[in-house]
Amino acid sequence: MQAKEKLNELLKALEELDLKLKKFFPKLTPKYSLKLSKYISHAMDYTRKSINELKVDDVNLANALLVKARELTRNVSKLVKNPPKLEEAVSRLSSAIVASYWDFTGKINIVRKAYRRYIISFVIALIIAPLFLRISVILVGFLIFPLFISIHAFKARRKLGAIIASVLIPFTMLVDAIALNYSVRALFNPTEIHEVAMELGIDVWIMYSIIIAILLGAITSFILAVTSFITLYKNIDALV
């Protein structure tokens, strides 16, 4: 695979970058020296993992990372005059290399599926929420706004998407828990179902169908929310 050759070159480029950075460590505070060493070591570890587990021959991505690593190596002597800027540059390169592991191994599909599950669970919760929380259509629209932001962030492979998801998923689980509690209690209390059916002017069997639909929707949403949260948390480094 051509990507494997480029990744081997990337590993050598990172070793060169590491050696060049270490020459300037005496001029830097221990704080920056330790951080830079950690970033480079992390990037090298994931480059080796990508080489050993390579499944997707994305030569363009491998080449882009190699170009960035060599460019940073050339600019170290300039950037060392501004340690925060140097740290930021090395951190960005490291994050990009670490995230690329999910591309080269095809594991990015796991993250994409989790992100779809998160969207589905949140949409189901938004449908259920007005029935139990008495929130207005305007508030529902307001909640859709951060969802769109997180979708855009996920597509751009930004951690912002996961951060927003970590806020919206608890809301989803809360709505699901309330819906589950009510649905189960209602199914074991025929009197309440009869009363609600009479108030709405519908047949009792339709009311039972609605309660069962809410129950199944809440269970589905809750499971999707929990599994997506766990998967995104475990694969958070796939985002930069």
What is the domain count for the chain?
A: 2
pLDDT digits (tens, 9 = 90+) for 62-109: 999 999 999 999 999 999 999 999 999 999 999 999 999 999 999 999
Q: Cα–Cα distance between 235 and 85 in angstroms, integer? A: 27
Who's near 65: CB < 8 A, 6+ residues apart?
6, 10, 93, 96, 97, 100
Same domain, 25 and 80: yes
Which of residues 51, 71, 106 is at a domain's end? 106
Q: How confident is the model over 13-34, as a mean pLDDT?
A: 93
CA angle 97, 100, 104 (to 5 degrees): 135
Q: Cα–Cα distance between 72 and 59 in angstroms, integer? A: 20
pLDDT value of position 202: 87
Same domain, 128 and 221: yes
In which domain, by residue range, is 121 found? 109-238
Same domain, 157 and 220: yes
**Average pLDDT along the chain:** 93
Q: Cα–Cα distance between 27 and 6 in angstroms, integer? A: 32
Same domain, 131 and 88: no
Same domain, 93 and 158: no
Count the residues in the chain.
240
Same domain, 63 and 134: no
Q: How many CB atoms lie within 10 A of CB 30?
A: 8
Phi/psi zone of residue 45: left (φ > 0), alpha (ψ -120 to 50 degrees), beta?
A: alpha
Q: Which residue has the tokens 């491998």?
A: 62
pLDDT digits (tens, 9 = 90+) for 123-155: 999 999 988 877 777 788 888 999 999 999 999
**Which CATH number do you get for residue 96?**
1.20.120
CA angle 117, 118, 120 (to 5 degrees): 65
The pTM (predicted TM-score) of the whole model is 0.89
Who's near 75: CB < 8 A, 6+ residues apart?
89
pLDDT value of position 140: 80
